[in-house]
Amino acid sequence: MKELLEILENNARATPEEIGKMLGRKVSLVKNDIKNLEKNGVILKYKTIINKELLREEDSSVRALIEVKVVPQKNLGFDHIAERIYQFPEVTSCYLMSGTYDLLIIVEGKNLQKVSNFVAEKLSPMENIRGTVTHFILKKYKEDGDILKQPNKSKRPAITL
């Protein structure tokens, strides 16, 4: 099962026939395993990684990492406040962390102002939030293990002194 998941994680477009050949298994068994993994919630969805910087669209979004310090609620811990936070549509990811802050959230908005407004108007005023630190993502080099390589625009070597 581990090998099947690794294949799909690296290439979600791999067909059951291709996977069967790689694993030396019958296609019907591979299809059945995939169906069960989907049914049990192990496979949540299939995803395409897009290098949005190459699209150069005017309406491209802004992403930010936000460190959140919280006061855990009695008998509820961190899960309750995390659930309230990750329900916001601006939040694309939410993690419980060890270290100097409690939650790390990734937020996406149409521009810097939209992300800033989310932090100021929705996140920071929430009960049990002790503080936030926002880091805007300026450029992505690698995402989910995939290098987002930009093509070289100039073939000229850099001048060094």
pLDDT in tens, the chain (161 residues): 899 999 998 888 999 999 999 999 999 999 999 999 999 999 988 888 777 777 766 657 899 999 999 998 888 889 999 999 999 999 999 999 999 999 999 999 999 999 999 999 999 999 999 999 999 998 888 887 878 876 666 666 767 76
How is residue 161 written in tokens?
């002194």
Residue 92 and residue 106 in contact, taking contact as beta carbons nearer than 8 Å: yes
Q: Are strands 103-109 and 62-70 parallel, antiparallel or unpaired?
A: antiparallel
Does CATH number 3.90.1150.10 belong to domain 60-139?
no
Task: Write the burial class of residue 124 (CB in 10 Å: 0-12 exposed, 13-18 middle, 19+ buried).
Answer: middle
pLDDT for position 149: 76
CA max distance for the chain: 63
| Full 3-state SS string of the chain | CHHHHHHHHHCCCCCHHHHHHHHCCCHHHHHHHHHHHHHCCCCCCCCCCCCHHHCCCCCCCEEEEEEEEECCECCCHHHHHHHHHHCCCCEEEEEECCCCCCEEEEEEECCHHHHHHHHHHHHCCCCCEEEEEEEECCCCCEECCEECCCCCCCCCCCCCC
Give residue limits of the domains in the chain: 2-39, 60-139
Judge contact between 146 and 49, C-beta under 8 A. Answer: yes
Tokens read off for 85: 């936070």
First to last CA, the chain: 55
pLDDT at 49: 77
Cα(71)–Cα(103) distance, integer angstroms: 11
pLDDT of residue 63: 93
